[in-house]
Amino acid sequence: MPVKTRPKAKAYTFGTCSFVKMSPRQSQLTSETKGVNVFLSFEEALKLNLAIDECVRRLNSYNRATTGGRGAALVLTMFLHKNRITVNQGGL
Per-domain boundaries in the chain? 13-91
Cβ neighbours, 10 Å, residue 22: 16
Task: Output the pLDDT for position 2.
Answer: 66
Task: Output the pLDDT for position 8.
Answer: 55
Task: Output the pLDDT for position 6.
Answer: 59
Task: Output the pLDDT for position 12.
Answer: 80
DSSP 20: S
Task: Output the pLDDT for position 57.
Answer: 95
Task: Output the pLDDT for position 45.
Answer: 98
DSSP 92: -
19 SS3 class = coil
Task: Output the pLDDT for position 65.
Answer: 93
pLDDT averages per 10-residue partition of the chain, 92 residues: 60 91 94 96 98 95 92 95 96 91
pTM: 0.81
Task: Give the H/E segment covering residue 18.
Answer: strand 13-18
